[in-house]
Amino acid sequence: MIDTVSTPSFIPRPFTDRALTLGLLIFSAAAVATQAADWPQFLGPNRDGIAPGSPKLADSFPGGSPKKLWSVDVGQGFAGPVVSSNRVVIFHRLGNQDVTEALEASTGARVWRKESPTDYSDDFGFDEGPRACPTVVEGRIYTHSADGIVECRRMEDGVRIWEVDTKTKFQSDKGFFGRAAAPLVVGGRLFLNLGGRDGAGVVAFSAESGALLWKATDDEAGYASPVFWIPSSPPTVLFFNRGGLRAVEAATGKIRASHPWRARMHASVNAATPLISGDEVLLTSSYGTGATLLRWKGSNFDTVWSGDDSLSAHYATPVRLGGLLFGFHGRQETGAALRCVDWATGKVKWDSGTLGSGTVAVAGDQLVVLLESGELVIAPAVGDSFSPKVRCQILGTGLRAPFALADGMLVARDKKKLAAFDLRH
């Protein structure tokens, strides 16, 4: 069922086609246009784990560790920081308040802090803070809390522009571990894996006002975040929900194609965000599911390869460089390995052995890995072997939040601290 809401009167009518396409073109050029010092959303400017225009990172550091630029206390949460316009934005929880906070990127000094009440309670006794990274677009910050509150604030001073309580309005489900999808904002619209009732599995809001523009599907949300399918026409958003992939027209909410991808066991999740390359899309999940590379064939997806032996990512999204795919293989509880996989065939080129879970990104020709243990690993992004140049402890253990990598500066959080490190020398 698709429920299309009339375009609000304050948005020009051509928005639904020409303006949205223009927004998509702007989004696809982000790697070129974005300042090197920006990592404005989950997985970076293009949601692919690539740090565009990154300076060369050091192969070694005096004393064995990178210089810590600053460190501040933070509350609960798995939401990673983002960097935009020389500010770091962090979304965390202190007591019964969700806190959106802006800091100076160079010093960590607080610019402003705003609070919103929360009553989220984790069913498993884990961390009760936000899960989803903020998204910064055109001077606005968009957040999605673990208890389903979507907020838009001004980057300048944190003043709230609008708020939508999706738990109340759409009966969005907390799932096993709370609501975790990071908002995708492009072309004046905010797209979200919501997992709501009555056809609100995925939704689009006006980024300007928070008004509902359309809702579609009865899918449970899972934990992956939506991505734009750059070369697609009409403009399309990919949602990786609990049951699999949905390709949805950005303007209307019409389902273009679906591809089931889910473990048979009930206690399973899809958490890694889809990775796009041209007309190909990679999905990966754990729980005996594995990875699959799909290719668009005009009206649906064909399978290029699939299998649990290539890359079985529990929660961290892999990253692609050229024809190589780098990501974590295996369950977090049992000790994952970092792998390099041939994109075209799914063949494993190397395996790090038990390393532990973490987050991976690419800066230039280097892999930047931050493990749950708080250990930083920097290694050449090559296919012949895993040969780390840097391995050092920089943060505490229990680190699940994705990091930001902006102009050679790594910004990351553990359970208690948010810190910035200079990886250039």
Going by DSSP bridges, is the β-strand pair 135-137/140-144 parallel, antiparallel, or unpaired? Answer: antiparallel
**What is the predicted pLDDT for the residue at 119?**
93
Measured CA to CA, the distance from residue 390 to residue 60 in angstroms comes to: 6
Q: Which of 401, 394, 416, 321 is nearest to 357 (CA)?
A: 401
**What is the predicted pLDDT for the residue at 12?**
29
- pLDDT tens track for 132-153: 999 999 999 999 999 999 999 9
Which residues of the chain are under the pLDDT cut of 50? Answer: 1-17, 25-34
**What is the predicted pLDDT for the residue at 174?**
81
Q: For residue 322, report the phi and psi dihedrals to the nearest 5 degrees.
A: 60, -130
- The answer to whether 280 and 295 have CB atoms below 8 angstroms apart is yes
Q: Which helix (H) or strand (E) holds 249?
A: strand 244-249
The residue type found at 28 is: S
**What is the predicted pLDDT for the residue at 221?**
87
State the residue for tokens 């884990």.
Answer: 126
Q: For residue 169, report the phi and psi dihedrals to the nearest 5 degrees.
A: -80, -35
Q: Which helix (H) or strand (E) holds 189?
A: strand 189-193
State the residue for tokens 């303007």.
Answer: 251
Q: Which of 408, 79, 375, 288 is nearest to 352 (CA)?
A: 375
Measured CA to CA, the distance from residue 88 to residue 74 in angstroms comes to: 13
Burial of 376 (0-12, 13-18, 19+ CB in 10 A): buried
**What is the predicted pLDDT for the residue at 5?**
30
Going by DSSP bridges, is the β-strand pair 348-354/358-363 parallel, antiparallel, or unpaired? Answer: unpaired
- pLDDT tens track for 25-47: 444 444 334 455 799 999 999 99
Cα separation values, 372 from 31, 77, 269, 316, 376, Å: 28, 14, 19, 11, 10
Q: Which residues contact 324 (CB under 8 A, 6 or more apart)?
A: 340, 341, 342, 343, 349, 381, 382, 383
Provide the CATH number for the domain formed by 2-422 in this structure. Answer: 2.130.10.10
Measured CA to CA, the distance from residue 27 to residue 47 in angstroms comes to: 11
**What is the predicted pLDDT for the residue at 13?**
32
Q: Which helix (H) or strand (E) holds 255?
A: strand 255-260
Measured CA to CA, the distance from residue 382 to residue 326 in angstroms comes to: 9
Alpha helices in 259-323 (DSSP H): none
- Secondary structure (3-state) at 228: strand
In the chain, where are the structural domains located? Answer: 2-422
